[in-house]
Amino acid sequence: MSLKIRLARGGSKKRPYYTVVLADARSPRDGRFLEKLGSWNPMLAKDNPARIELNAERIQHWIENGAQPTDRVLRFLADANIATRDAKNNPEKAKPGKKATERAAEKAQKIEDAKAAAAEAAASAE
């Protein structure tokens, strides 16, 4: 049985509230869990200390016993100095897509054509 430390969503529509839970990896997101380990309220300000509450002692216990935190939970644990998270780097993500590149090239071509036409008109006026 593989265990995950993950988020379970609660709260009403457009007012999310998450609990950090230890659950079997096969159970549904908001389904059965073994233990509640903390909470996250994204509606609070980022500098509010009540935004993220974690039971560090129990989380450390479960990580030592093989539980794997999800990426979002691992971010919280890294901020609380409970676990380390490798920095991720995806330079391809910042590059514009195919259509945006085509639009930029088309716009640059139009500007270049307009400059050429203006230079030609100025030369013929002399």
User: In a structure prediction context, what are the per-residue pLDDT tens digits for the chain, which is 126 residues long?
Assistant: 689 999 999 999 999 999 999 999 998 888 889 999 999 999 999 999 899 999 999 999 999 999 999 999 999 999 888 888 888 788 888 888 999 999 999 999 999 999 988 888 888 876
Distance CA 71, CA 4 (A): 11
pLDDT at 30: 85
pLDDT at 123: 81
Backbone angles phi, psi at 65, to 5 degrees: -90, 10
pLDDT at 85: 84
Strands (DSSP E) along the chain, which ranges?
Answer: 3-12, 15-24, 35-40, 52-54, 68-69
pLDDT of 37-72, one tens digit each? 999 999 999 999 899 999 999 999 999 999 999 999
pLDDT at 94: 83
| Start-to-end C-alpha separation, the chain | 85
CA nearest neighbour of 69 among 81, 85, 89, 55 = 85
pLDDT at 86: 83
Domain 3-79 belongs to what topology?
A: S16 Ribosomal Protein; Chain: A; (3.30.1320)
In total, the chain counts a number of residues equal to 126
Give the domain ranges of the chain.
Answer: 3-79, 91-125
